[in-house]
Homo-oligomer: A and B are copies of this chain.
């Protein structure tokens, strides 16, 4: 059964066909994204930013949709939740974890700007978008024949809907974030869909054009932006001391000491 929530505009039988699902974790308001090439006989799939406690839901869905998960990847080292990439690997051997080389973390594949991540006949491009953390990347669907139209950008915490990630931890830099968004995201076509790692107001998607017009921070000049970011007066992230070290090793730093069951809860 081809259950496609987002199809490309071509209706020729040989065209690539994207299955796309947006998934939500309420406690940390985190979005996880499932993408698969359901026109390919293997139905290869990837998960972006899975959350440890939602791994059973995500794997069930992958199985029900008849997909073959090949990658479990992160946009960056999260500070507010533990990634599900390591747990997924224990439950579905063969899945490879992906994170940026610049994050200084461990994963099966360490990616850099300009690389392509293929799943079937579809692919994601890697864009370096540091500033929230030093290793943040944005994954963008390919620009080419049979790739999804409009394009989709998975921006992590670099660009949120009408917002952006904080810049006061993990090698963050408001100067770098401003540059990243303006040079790597706002240069995409205006109808590119923005799918962030979080939303706290119930928005699910935006576009490059919308954020260029209405983002209350990134529409400002750089000096004003830096001023905003330096005066947010946010509290210390309550999960950071647990999440960051865990997320630098796919969420499973204690696996040798604890049974898998206790890690997953």
A interface list, Cβ under 8 A from B: 1-7, 9-11, 21-26, 29, 32, 54, 57, 61, 64-65, 150, 190-191, 193, 199, 201-207, 209-210, 213-214
Contacts and interface: CB of A to CB of B under 8 A. Distances in A.
A176 B237 CA distance: 49
B54 A3 contact: no
B23 A213 contact: no
A204 B24 CA distance: 8
A209 B3 contact: yes
A6 B209 CA distance: 15
Given A3-B191, A7-B9, A54-B202, A64 B210 contact: yes
A87 to B, nearest CB: 16
Contacts of A29: 26
A201 to B, nearest CB: 6
List the 4 closest A-B pairs by CB distance, nearest first: A24-B202, A3-B207, A22-B204, A1-B209
